[in-house]
Amino acid sequence: MGDLKRTALIYDFDGTLARGNLQETSFIPDIGMTKEEFWSRVKERTRAQDADEILVYMHLMLEKAKEQCIQITSKDLRRHGEKAPLFPGLADKSWFHRINEHAAERGLALEHYIVSSGIHEMIEGCAIRDVFRQVFASKFIYIDDVAAWPGVGINYTTKTQYLFRINKGIDNHWDNVSINSYMPEDERPIPFDRMIFLGDGDTDIPTMKMLTHKGGHSVAVYDSDRTDRDLKKIHKLISDSRVEFVAPADYEQNSQIDIIIKGILGRIARNHGYRPTE
């Protein structure tokens, strides 16, 4: 079959691989707030300060922890991530093994990435961290292993740059020289048409739109327990041509998302020369 062609399956995290936001599972209760209080405060401060919402929520985490005399260490954040309520088919990693095998049979070397506005260190603590080649997410700067300030804040527009980092084979946040340097399309490790993005909400819209425009593939997933208001957002993603497919966030064998991703991988493989033997 020859060399396998590198292909990327890129996920948002909160609402895509796990229910809700990771901070809501244990961190927000530990700082004495409800999730409604926390996010309401974030929205108010974002508007009042004309600020970036991601940086505001990260700063509020630090502020409220300090008020409760809680030090936020990277170990503590990973511990919070261990409690991530993953969707069906993920915790035992069967999804990743199954989809990798399906891709390899068609000449594709599938790599998994996360591009998320959530907290990097929490994602590092989750049970499925080792299946991802790289996690691109918001993260803190540490002094003596205590979180001191937001170091990276990934919002709905900055998410798009990470498609280019994956496209050019750049596995870090800091290398702005390589990301802005010219690289011929045929020399890029993972072309856009061998990328699939899975996301669930408003912060994923520019990423979905850009990837679709570049010839890649975008899929919206949703929690079956979501409200009518949340589902209307999914309807809008379809009507606005942001995504090709929509499916419940169920990663079990023969689920809708399983069938869709396998179908897209088959399309990618055919476009890159694979022909089934039967």
Domain count, the chain: 1
Exposed, middle or buried: residue 231 (CB in 10 Å: 0-12, 13-18, 19+)? middle
Q: Has residue 69 been placed in a domain?
A: no
Residue 16: the pLDDT is: 93
Q: Provide mean pLDDT across the span 250-272.
A: 95
pLDDT higher than threshold 80 for residue 225: no
pLDDT in tens, 15-54: 899 998 889 988 999 999 999 999 999 999 999 999 999 9
**How many other C-beta atoms lie within 10 A of the C-beta of residue 276?**
9
Q: Kind of pairing, strands 195-199 and 245-248?
A: unpaired
Residue 25: the pLDDT is: 86
Q: Has residue 211 been placed in a domain?
A: yes
Q: Closest by alpha carbon to 220, among 233, 228, 262?
A: 233
Q: Provide mean pLDDT across the span 165-191.
A: 93
Return the structure tokens found at 224: 């079956």
Output the domain CATH number for residue 214.
3.40.50.1000
CA distances from 265 to 88, 90, 100, 205, 236 (A): 21, 19, 10, 22, 25
Query: In the predicted model, what is the mean pLDDT of the chain?
Result: 91
Residue 116: the pLDDT is: 94
Looking at the chain, the whole-number percentage of residues with pLDDT higher than 90 is 74
Q: Which domain holds residue 179?
A: 5-20+86-271
Total residues belonging to the chain = 278
Are 253 and 262 within 8 A, CB to CB? no
Residue 241: the pLDDT is: 66
Q: Has residue 131 been placed in a domain?
A: yes
Q: Has residue 177 been placed in a domain?
A: yes
**How many other C-beta atoms lie within 10 A of the C-beta of residue 241?**
12
pLDDT higher than threshold 70 for residue 81: yes
d(CA 132, CA 27): 24
d(CA 102, CA 26): 36
| pTM for the whole structure | 0.93
pLDDT higher than threshold 80 for residue 240: no
Task: Give, as one character, the DSSP assignment of residue 31.
Answer: T
Q: Has residue 134 been placed in a domain?
A: yes
Residue 1: the pLDDT is: 46
Residue 168: the pLDDT is: 95
Residue 2: the pLDDT is: 55
Across 17-26, 139-148, 182-191, 201-210, least confident range: 201-210
